[in-house]
Amino acid sequence: MHILFLFLDGIGLGPADPTTNPFVAASVPTLRSLAGGQAWTQHAVQTNTNRALFIPTDANLGVSGRPQSATGQGTILTGVNIPAELGYHYGPRPNDAIVDIVQRDTLIKKLTARNLETTLLNAYPPPFFAAIESGKRRPSSAQLALLAAGVRFRGMDDLREGKALHVDFTGQLWHEHIRAENPEWAVPVISPQEAGQRIVSMAREADFTFFDNWLTDYIGHRGTLKDAIDQLQTLDAVLAAILDAWADDEGLIILTSDHGNMEEMGHRKHTENLVPTVVIGSQRDAFADGLSDLSDFAPRILEVFDD
Ligand SMILES: [Zn+2]
């Protein structure tokens, strides 16, 4: 049993307007097929196809205001409704109260305690490690949950060896931005197909595999509609390769988000829209029975490994 968790920051189900919603404007046949042919918008309803469950999911968690990353990611990885516990949404980086909750008792720690191995697919560039070690950069809630459980953070060497992915899947952004800082930080750029195959082969080597894709939220805040369309088309090709390589009895693939943002490119803010959840795998019905909000993932993932 392998679980592959593809976390995409800041994607929601928004209005079906191709001038602002990249999920409508982009050519994304695989995303649509995962939702039974529906576009990923606020009109999409829960659907079960022959491979995937598509579930519009509540990220507001009963608390008013725009949902934020620190509380949303923390909720996904602990199963604790952190906004309800604190009375507010908070982010992007966790405050001390969220740090306490996220370091205390996460899904990742519980998996480790059962001798289940967690792999983080992301490769981080050299400046990231320097900033974390110096304390200049507070990790995100997802990163904290992984660090607190002792999960190894991959870097440039892993990327060169084909044992990690940059946040954009292909490494093109690393090539353009990180290598520009230092020519010695060059890494190969791969195709979306290779990225999908790499994700599956790495997921087969671990019990629980996590990919932390913050780029979608970043594009929602600072990018253009074209950036968003390009990233979704890359994601679509990666998912197509994953579906080709993955057999449904190998385990579960779970894709979800912490809050909306990139589905409304007309403003730079998060949204209160539902977020898309996709669950792929032969046990998807049992896993997703009653799943409705971000606090429902962690307990169900533990149950899958109990069975
Ligand atoms: Zn954000």
Å from CA of 52 to ligand 1 middle: 27
The pTM (predicted TM-score) of the whole model is 0.97
Q: Which pLDDT tens digit goes with each residue over 138-194?
A: 899 999 999 999 999 999 999 999 999 999 999 999 999 999 999 999 999 999 999
| Cα 237 to Cα 51: distance, rounded to the nearest angstrom | 17
Amino acid at residue number 192: P
> How far, in Å, is the centroid of ligand 1 from the Cα of 284?
29
Task: Determine which helix (DSSP H) or strand (DSSP E) holds 253, and give its type and residue range.
Answer: strand 251-256
- pLDDT tens, 88-137? 999 999 999 999 999 988 999 999 999 999 999 999 999 999 998 898 88
Buried b (16+ CB within 10 A) or exposed e, 179-215: beeeeebebeebebbbbbbbbbebbeebbbbbbbbbb
Structural domains of the chain, ranges and CATH numbers in brackets: 2-306 (3.40.720.10)
Burial of 175 (0-12, 13-18, 19+ CB in 10 A): middle
Share of the chain above pLDDT 90, in %: 96
The pLDDT value recorded for residue 170 is 98
Ligand 1: centre distance to CA 260 (Å): 9
Amino acid letter, residue 127: P
Tokens in use for 97?
């109260």
The stretch 270-286 carries a mean pLDDT of 97
Ligand 1 centroid – CA 205 distance (Å) = 31
Ligand 1 center–CA 177 separation, angstroms: 21
Q: Report which DSSP code applies to 177.
A: I
pLDDT at residue 307 above 80?
no
